[in-house]
Amino acid sequence: MSHRELVSVCFGGFPGTNRHLREISRVTALTRHLAVSGSTAASVDVAFLRDHLATLAPRCVIFGSWHAVYEPLVDSARAAGAEIAVLWTSSVVQTDLSGETATLASLLGDRRIARFFATSEALAGTLGAAGRPSHVLPLPFSIAATPRVAAKPERTVPVVSLFAAPNEYRRKNAFACIVALAGLDVPYVLHLNGLAERAEYRAVLEELKVPYDDHGWLDEGDYARALDEVDVGVQVSLADSFNYVVAEHFARAVPVVVSRSVPVAHGLPEHVLRLLVVADPDDPGELRGKLRVLLTEPEARREAGRAVREHLERVSARNAEAARRTLTAVLAER
């Protein structure tokens, strides 16, 4: 079975979706993944990929979400006889909160698209109702090469992270997280990756006297090093399809306070859920209480860290097997 039969393509400006398809290719060995760096149809790499798809002549090309730069690639793939599919990685609520509903509606009406993939049963079922095959394609997040965060010297001020892409601050519930941190009466420093570059958030952080260090937007290597400094993460999202940030922390055995809307945390042992999961993302007091425990009780933090890494190993193995089954079934259709 050649991995040329299934090719995935994703615009580089969609880091989560691009990561998803790259991991699918690496873990299952059933697809070849191609990233698009250009943002216009006239860019050099789009021309190269257009010709490359014609040469590969795959049976199916899976596009990650949707971007206008895909148009000439769709034309090339169809001319080579390929079926066109779309992987939609946003959850149902995330689609609406992120302003993606119009894009998804357009895709549902686009008859060039013969197949949909989604990250949840709920959305896969909804997309399938449009009359085309729809499948769940979960993320097989690999952690084998990710070392646990090294132990820090005693009396080191703990680092709390609040990492998010600039277009996700509201969905990630950033203001509620800042309010919760502002009331903490224990030592900590908040690490950010660009949030304070927004004037309104910077003003709130400074007026509420939240100790912070904003690294700005980070490339992949710097981001990995920033994660290695973290003791406790915060991701009390209002909606999520997986949450790569949480997974990156879990892989390093770093606990993260999350909402019930973070799928990668589903299935944690009950005692860990009680420690990490906020029932009401609109209650800064509840979030503050969980952070206080993790920051002041190092042993509880270490135990939670061990548990979340083991949990992520199980999730990754389960998702990898599910992705293999899905793609194998697609290849067996004809």
Residue 21 lies in a domain: yes
| Same domain, residue pair 192 and 294 | yes
Residue 321 lies in a domain: no
| Same domain, residue pair 212 and 246 | yes
Q: What is the pLDDT of residues 48-92, one digit of tens each?
A: 999 999 999 999 999 999 999 999 999 999 999 999 999 999 988
Residue 324 lies in a domain: no
pTM for the whole structure: 0.88
Residue 173 lies in domain:
159-314
| Same domain, residue pair 291 and 203 | yes
Residue 205 has a CB neighbour count (10 Å cut-off) of 20
| Same domain, residue pair 180 and 44 | no
Residue 61 lies in a domain: yes
Say how far apart CA 79 and CA 71 lie, in whole Å.
12
| Same domain, residue pair 309 and 168 | yes
Residue 329 lies in a domain: no
Q: What is the pLDDT of residues 221-253, one digit of tens each?
A: 999 999 999 999 999 999 998 888 999 999 999
| Same domain, residue pair 187 and 91 | no
| Same domain, residue pair 168 and 73 | no
Beta strands of 42-187 (E only): which ranges?
60-64, 83-88, 113-118, 134-136, 159-162
Half-sphere exposure for 304 (CA within 13 Å, toward CB)? 28
pLDDT of 41 strictly over 90: no
Contacts of 176 (CB under 8 A, 6+ apart): 236, 281, 282, 284, 287
| Same domain, residue pair 129 and 79 | yes
Half-sphere exposure for 96 (CA within 13 Å, toward CB)? 5
pLDDT of 216 strictly over 80: yes
Contact 103, 66 (CB under 8 A): yes
| Same domain, residue pair 183 and 86 | no
Query: pLDDT at position 36, please?
Result: 94
By the 10 Å C-beta count (0-12 exposed, 13-18 middle, 19+ buried), 6 is classed as: buried
| Same domain, residue pair 164 and 264 | yes
Q: How many domains does the chain have?
A: 2
Residue 142 lies in a domain: no
| Same domain, residue pair 199 and 118 | no
Q: How far is CA 63 from the centre of its chain?
A: 17
Residue % of the chain over a pLDDT of 90:
79
Residue 333 has a CB neighbour count (10 Å cut-off) of 10
Query: pLDDT at position 146, please?
Result: 72
Residue 319 lies in a domain: no
Query: pLDDT at position 190, please?
Result: 98
Say how far apart CA 243 and CA 261 lie, in whole Å.
9
Q: Give the CATH number of the domain where residue 170 resides.
A: 3.40.50.2000
| Same domain, residue pair 220 and 287 | yes
Short-list 245, 266, 267, CA closest to 256: 245
Say how far apart CA 147 and CA 214 lie, in whole Å.
24
Mean pLDDT score of the chain = 92
Residue 149 lies in a domain: no
pLDDT of 141 strictly over 50: yes
